[in-house]
Amino acid sequence: MTNSKVGPSDQNSNSDPIPKQEWYKDGLKFSCSQCGNCCTGGPGAVWYTEQEGREMAVALGLTHEEFTAKYTRAIANRRSLNESQTPHGFDCVFLDRTSQPGRALCGVYTARPAQCRTWPFWPENLETPRAWKAAKAKTPCLGMDNGTLYPIEQIRILRERDRADNQSAPW
C-alpha cells in the first residue's frame, strides 16, 4: 500500500532528523473522505506496538494471543497487521468495505495504531512541499489539502508521535 501501510523501502524513513524548516507553519488542511486508499495498495505493513496490539484485541473482544495469531504477522523484529488481496489491492485486514456502501472504514478505528492516527502528518511527508504533494498523489489521498485546517502545533504533535512510534523498541 501507499501510505498508512508502508512498503519495505519506507520502513526506516521516519528516522530522519526534525526538519529545520517547517514550510507548513501556517498549517495544512486535511479531512478524511473514507476512501480507504491509505489502507490498501501494494504489499506493505501496518506497524503496531505491543500495547496497541493489546488495545486492538480488547476492541475486538479477543485475547492478545488470539488477536496476534489471527490478524498479525512478524516482519523482521517488528509486527504488522495482516493484509488480504482484494480487487483494490492489498487491503489491511481491518479495512471494512461492506458496512457502509461507498465508504471504506477502519474496523478497529478507536484502537487503530499510531501509524494510522498520524497520517498524513508523517515526517517524511512533511519534509518538503514536494514530498507532501507526492504522498498525496501516490496514495492518492483526497483528504490532503482539503477541509479542516490543522495548525502547526497539532501537526507537530502528530509528526513527532509518528517519529517516536517508528523509533520504539522492537518486540
Q: How near is the Cβ of 82 to ligand SF4 at its closest, in Å?
A: 10
6 binds ligand SF4 (CB under 6 A): no
Gap between the Cα atoms of 92 and 43, Å rounded: 10
Q: Is 28 in the site for ligand SF4 (CB under 6 A)?
A: no
Given candidates 12, 15, 25, 34, which one binds ligand SF4 under the rule CB under 6 A?
Answer: 34
Instruction: Tell me how far apart the alpha carbons of residues 121 and 154 are, in angstroms, rounded to a whole number.
Output: 10
Set of cell numbers at residue 101: 456502501
Stretch that binds ligand SF4, among 19-27, 37-45, 59-67, 160-168 (CB under 6 A): 37-45
Nearest to 10 by CA among 119, 153, 156, 88: 119
* Beta strand spans in the chain (E): 28-30, 72-75, 78-81, 83-86, 89-92, 95-96, 105-106, 144-150
- How many angstroms separate the Cα of 67 from the Cα of each of 20, 57, 80, 93, 138? 40, 5, 12, 12, 31
> Looking only at residues 51 through 80 of this chain, which bind ligand SF4 when binding is defined by CB under 6 A?
none
- Residue nearer to ligand SF4 on the CB measure, 12 or 31: 31
Contact set for ligand SF4, span 107-146 (CB under 6 A): 108, 112, 116, 119, 139, 141-143
Reduce the DSSP state of residue 27 to 3 states and report it: coil
Positive or negative torsion for Cα 77, 106, 135, 163: negative
Which one of 16, 18, 29, 33 is in contact with ligand SF4 (CB under 6 A)?
33
For helices 50-60 and 64-71, give the axis angle rounded to 10 degrees: 100
State which of residues 6, 39, 155, 158 lies at the interface with ligand SF4 (CB under 6 A). 39
CB of 22 to ligand SF4, least distance (A): 21
Distance in Å, CB of 70 to ligand SF4, minimum? 14
Interface with ligand SF4 by CB under 6 A: which residues? 4-5, 32-39, 46, 81, 92, 94-95, 106, 108, 112, 116, 119, 139, 141-143
